[in-house]
Structure 1
Amino acid sequence: MSPTADAARVAAARAGDRHALESLLGDHLPLVYAVVRRALGADPDVDDVVQETMLRAVRHLRGLREPDGFKAWLVSIAVSQIQERARRLARHRARAVAPLDLGVAEPPDPDADVAALAEDRVDVDRELRLIAQATGFLNAAERQTLALWSQEVAGTMTRAEVAAALSLSPAHTAVRVQRMRARLDLALTVLRALRSAPRCAGLGEVAASWDAGAEPRWLKRLGRHVADCEACLLAGRRGVPAARVLALPWLLQVPAVLTEGLPALVGAGSAGAGGAASGGVAALVADAVRRVAGYLNVKIVGTAGVGVAAATAAVLAVTATAPPASPPTPPAPPPQAAPATTPSGTAPTPAGSPSPSPPAAARHVVTAQGVTSADLYVAVDGDDSGPGSAARPYATLARAVDVVQPGQVIALRAGTHRPAATIAITTSGLAARRITLSNLVGERPVVDGSALPGGQWLINQTGGYWTVQGLELRNAPSHAYVCRSCHDNVFRRLSMHDNGDTALTLRDAGTRGNQVLDSDFARNHDTADRGGSADGLAIKNGGGPGNVVRGNRFAENSGDGLDLSNFTDPVTVVGNWAYGNGHNRWNIAAFNGPGNGVKLGGGSPAPAVAHVVVDNASWDNAGYGFTEAGNPGRLTVTNNTAYRNGGTGFAFVYSQARLRRNVALANGRDVQVGGGVDDAGNSWGQDGWATTVLRSGDPATARGERAPTGQLPSTTFLLNRKDKTMGASMTAGAAAPPPA
């Protein structure tokens, strides 16, 4: 997430906007956990330190002087809490140091390719366990530095943010990192030499009186021998460098226990802060963290999970855990005929008999690039009468979603799947046992709706706790995917294009806690309404808190890019691009496409809703770039760019919107605001803003391919030379997700 986006959300949170704060927590709680876990390893105090960090952030959010430095500020609090824990331990008896596992290991391939390593979980586990053991040789300050540096190599923190978190200058930070890396490399070399077969006799003599505890004093003794021994150096340097392992994108699993005690902690924080305003923010934090808890256990945060993954291999897998004491009751599916067999091959439960407990889900790696294994498989050459295994997959997705259980993973294999009827998803997962529908890593399955009867939807879902990712949905005669009263779902890395109505629609009451991430919605159009109905993404005609739209492209649809018509609760819209919507590319007679990039209201009358709109870009649309569409609410619109839209760039006439640091250039009309709008500090109120300040006015690179993990392509399009704090950052939520 860009610093300007953080600043906007901090401002909105201070003003009492629960959804801005929700977005902050969803992006930064995994980072805090990763830093603390890296510094403390498997210490039982990890969760306590994370909780105390979040509590202190609650207490002092209003005192943050530079909101655009929120990430570094929050991490600095975590570092302070890590240091405080070290001081507490120093005042008490030192804890026993667990002996290292020095069993002989298969020597790693010195020519191992990192890409291949990323696909081989066994090798990754080995390297990560070794790094975790080597960390024990570092002192407390070095472990803190490693915790932050691991996030730097993972791409979730910059060197400047690391320096700020350590309260050091960048130059001093570089020296500290260099010293830490030297000791880490020495520790890894020593451990590999100790585990080599055969082990050097001289090293064995030095280690004869060692209790195998990873203590700094022993690193010096063992390191002296290794440094002077050619055999030990050769054995110790066979392995993948730590920086390359730490840069792999792995799952960050945040324990649910972090949320269980938050209400009481936040209450204490409110009392300690001594103010209604601070208490209000604290209450928002408690509620927001509870909401994100359901998906954090499988959230991919770009490469942010590397730090914690390196501390323990256990966090690399999605583990099926027992549901909470009082789990939410998922909506019951409509009655259906019992299948002949279950996925395990056993007979189904007779009608009227008590349902057996759901089987424990297998352990599967769920990354932003897909899954490497699953409980159920679907392939174009499969057979629905089979067990749905990798060897005997189902033939249809409808069969898989009909029998899937909470906690299970469905892998849709590559190829073009052509359902003959709407796929109905009625089973819900649980907060601690989500259901995942995904591609396999390296495969791109296509669900083609061209065989459906006219007017039918491709997928119709109710319920929640699903992660749907890595699919291409196309050629539906009507809507591609409709989710009705859905909650706590994640839609990620989807491509929905050339459908006969809106690509993805979230609608009806109870639409809450959903995330739409890193997806493309393009060239969807309808003929019944002469192009007026088919949007890229619509969250409309309903209500529910906590919905987030981030890192998406809404391109060349006949209707609007993003449509929030008649939705009664705030939606957080961060880091999206909307372009080319509303142009008649299909020769539709009497074309009626509105062509707004980002539509933030609508209805008769439009409800008053305080949507949060940060760091988005909207260009070359036939209509408005950003419009309230009659929404009279208190919208937050910060760091967005409107460029070359046929209508007005920013149209906010009836709302009480607050517009800050937005840029509008070369639109039919750059801005139109009403008397209730606060629009201080935007390009249209300043001198010197013209298209000549843009680094690039060519959107070609912005239309390019995404990164394998879903991030939008790198581009200089719409970036400006005049003031880098103005307009969209065009990084589009590069800190990922929430997720899955």
Structure 2
Amino acid sequence: MTSTGSGTATTDLVLLAQSGDRAALDELVTTHLPLIYNVVGRALNGDSDVDDLVQDTMMGIIRGLPELREPGRFRSWAVTIAYRRMQEHYRQLHRTSYRTVFRRVEADIPDPQADFAERTVSELALQGQRRELAQAARWLETADRQLFSLWWQESSGELTRADLARAIAATPQHAAVRLQRMRQRLDGTRGLLRALNARPRCPDLDALVKIWDGRADSRWRKRLTRHTRDCAQCRPYARDLVSGESLLQGIGLVAVPAVLLTRLPGAATVNAVAVGKVSSLLTSVAGKGAVVAGAAAITLGGVTYPLWTGPSSPAPASPGLSSPAPHPTAPTTAVPTTSTTPTPTSTRTYAGVSTADLYVAPNGDDDARGSRAQPFATLEKAVSVVRPGQTIALRQGVYRSSQTLHIDTSGTAKRRIVLSGYRDERPVLDLSGLPHDQWGIVQTGDFWTVQGLEITRGPSHAYMCESCHDNVFRRLDSHGNGASGLMLRGEGTFGNRIANSDLHDNRDGLGIMYGNGVGNRISGVRTYRNQVEGLDLGGFTSPVTVRGSWSFGNGNGFTLGGGGTAVHVAHVLTDNAAWDNRGLGFNEEGNTGALELTRNTAYRNGVAGFWLPDSPAVLTRNLAARNPDDAFSASARQVDNDWTATGFASLDPAGAEADRRRDGSLPRTRFLVTATARGARMNY
């Protein structure tokens, strides 16, 4: 297989392909197809859908290539698309994709369901511990198997740790933690397999095998590996394990099947860029060749599909929704002169603060006093000198950053720090000048109120609050960012409130993820037109309260699950609505906690409205309409719900997608309002 490790060569190919060089795109696609095939193939649970999913992934890569802003990141970008396609694939499967009952195929050892690794054992001629590693990988749960497939590529030199981290939307440090946990589970299973194959077998382990019902779920894996870890007879089997990295480095990657390679010759044009010899690949998806259908669409088999164009070019705004910020080279708002102060009005209520201790304006000077008449020029300067109890006011205009802004100072419960727009002025934080791997704002400080800011064009996460507590984020507009619009994460994330904010046209909207802490609340928030997740609570192990919020036009609306880890947490959702999401409206994502959903509405989502096949959820007075499917655990408790609702006052979302009211609250609307006591009270 041709190596994809030459960053310069790949960058050159990307630039040539984007400029219309058909041969360059042909080489780019065919060179990276084996990598994508291996990433998908190693992770997919069973091989029947591998080729289709690879084709779908390559389709996404071809569609997005013209708008790829960082050619040097092509490989990690392509792997990220593959990883997201795998996640979407598993979410759309029936409940058995989360927990499959396996039949015993031999009298002695129950064999978990064969996946791609099993099909390639003979192809790779695995011997000894390499064979054991492949067998152990089949016992991993879906999320771990996906991570294992990326780790395999990293160990083989096809991906870097940075590539892997970007694919799973994690920092390299957090990716290392997730990999370590996966490796521990993998090694535990390797020891278990040896113990199961031992002759004579441990009597106590044999007794467990006889009562095992064949479910290769986390409960039984943990129970069996716990025995081998604690048993004096079984424990020695795990002592001489060669490291997984060493084993994987000696295993070649699987060749792409010839039948898939033969689909590459041909020609097509996408977004006025010649995409090379790939029309047969597109034909395999649509049945006919591809033709140009405008700057943001492709026609396949007579059907026109919108193309993903990336955060630098969001989808057209629905009526009333905030449009992305103007390009920083052509701002449409003039910077006000700070030498003159508007006449104070005692009765006027402003969206921002009317007075402040520190002022910042685009035409200021960081050597100035930071007063209203002599403002600082940068937010970095104001943050570096602010003290508990003080307020920072940003004047109107565009603020451009070339490095991450760190907010480390904390206020106190009685002396909060406020960062706000000034009066009714609208400051815009433009993050497009940041390096591609840097986050826009990283906050570790506590007891802050951040309000009235527009944050846009970050190459990665726009605003990250790490292990912070007792902060308030309100009236934020975060859009057009390469990763999330706003994320809170880490241990000790508690007591935070996110209110009356719009997170849209990013990769992901809003996340509270990978950590713990009680008392986090979300209210009056809209997440919309994000490529993957609207609101994501993945991997957060403490309950989060979500009330009176809307999620629409995303990949998924409200994702309440593991984010690749096993969680058992009872998030509380009340008076929320999810509509027109391409995937799932309300998605448990494998969360086995007793979710509490009261008066929520799911309307016209692409795959399912409520997808809760494993959660013993408590569902009270919820509504669903015009969703292809809904799924509920047999242990869920349902009271007065309606899954085929009718009688809505309006099915036109324009009112809900209009501008917010002056106080920042959601607009008044008749959309999805009913005369019953069920479903979201849209005018909460």
TM-score, length basis structure 2: 0.49
